[in-house]
């Protein structure tokens, strides 16, 4: 075949497209288990960070079970659903279901002889989804750690929710008032005064994302109230 002909060029282009597509598909398929394992370890890393265990991703995968003693999937009434693997619950999919059909994962951890309750979070930011974990002390009231992240919040503004200076504000805050009524924790703009036990400073210029974090915490924690009250 004449290599200078249009037919040759056309056939060559088709072959190259097929070869490249096959190579990409093979690479994606080959890497999928590794990617899934990295996601699993990162999840463990974030859960551990909320109770003050800060390690790299690989180390988290090794020591996770040393700290996390129970992984529960709760029903809307606070009872435990033993048919569901809590760690495999995907909140992005779960939150699309009616509340009464959702499963709510809860991680019970122990460190230095103390018990902690880690609640996974999922909500909406300014542009896309936001998520995280909130650890409560054994009183199921006092926050001991928080970890947040986002899909595509604005750099230098809403994206700051995953910075330690913002996350650390939540430590020591309480989700119930003195009358044991659930009030959650809210992020307030500069100049707005709130109860210091139940509020943090919002991100300057990132009000919508800050509000998203507040809404996420209130909505997700509210689903665990039946369990907290039963225990």
pLDDT band at 19 (very low <50, low <70, confident <90, very high): confident
Burial 163-188 (b: 16+ CB within 10 A, else e): eeebbebbeebbbbeeeeeebbbbbb
DSSP-derived pairing of the beta strands 129-136 and 114-124 = antiparallel
Q: What is the 3-state secondary structure (H, E, C) of 129-140?
A: EEEEEEEECCCC
For the chain, list the strands marked E by DSSP: 68-74, 104-111, 114-124, 129-136, 143-150, 186-188, 199-201
Neighbours of 138 (CB within 10 A): 13
Q: How much is the pLDDT for 18? A: 81
Rg of the chain over CA atoms, in angstroms? 22
Q: How far apart are CA 164 and CA 111, in angstroms?
A: 21
Q: What is the tens place of the pLDDT at every residue in 122-142? A: 999 999 999 999 999 999 999
Segments making up each domain of the chain, as ranges? 38-230
Place of tokens 């974030």: 46
Confidence check: pLDDT of 64 > 70: yes
The strand pair at 199-201 and 186-188 is best described as parallel
Cα distance between residue 133 and residue 212, in whole Å: 14
Sign of CA dihedral 95, 100, 103, 109: positive
Q: What mean pLDDT is predicted for residues 82-99?
A: 95
10 Å Cβ neighbour count for 21?
10
pLDDT of residue 72: 98
Proportion of the chain above pLDDT 90, given as a percent:
79
């Amino acid at each position: 075949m004449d290599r200078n002909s249009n037919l040759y060029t056309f056939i060559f282009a088709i072959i190259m497209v097929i070869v490249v597509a096959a190579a990409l598909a093979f690479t994606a398929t080959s890497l999928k288990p590794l990617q899934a394992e990295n996601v699993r370890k990162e999840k463990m890393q974030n859960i551990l960070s909320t109770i003050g265990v800060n390690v790299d991703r690989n180390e988290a995968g090794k020591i996770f079970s040393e700290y996390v003693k129970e992984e529960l999937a709760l029903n809307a009434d606070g009872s435990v659903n033993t048919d569901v693997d809590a760690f495999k619950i995907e909140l992005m999919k779960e939150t699309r279901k009616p509340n009464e059909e959702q499963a709510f994962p809860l991680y019970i951890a122990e460190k230095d002889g103390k018990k902690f309750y880690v609640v996974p979070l999922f909500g909406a930011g300014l542009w896309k989804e936001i998520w995280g974990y909130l650890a409560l002390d054994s009183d199921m009231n006092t926050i001991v750690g928080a970890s947040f992240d986002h899909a595509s919040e604005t750099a230098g503004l809403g994206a700051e929710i995953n910075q330690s200076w913002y996350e650390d504000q939540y430590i020591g805050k309480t989700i119930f008032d003195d009358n044991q009524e659930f009030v959650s924790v809210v992020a307030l703009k500069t100049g707005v005064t709130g109860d210091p036990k139940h509020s943090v400073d919002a991100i300057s210029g990132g009000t919508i994302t800050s509000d998203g974090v507040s809404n996420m915490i209130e909505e997700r924690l509210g689903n665990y109230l039946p369990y907290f009250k039963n225990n």
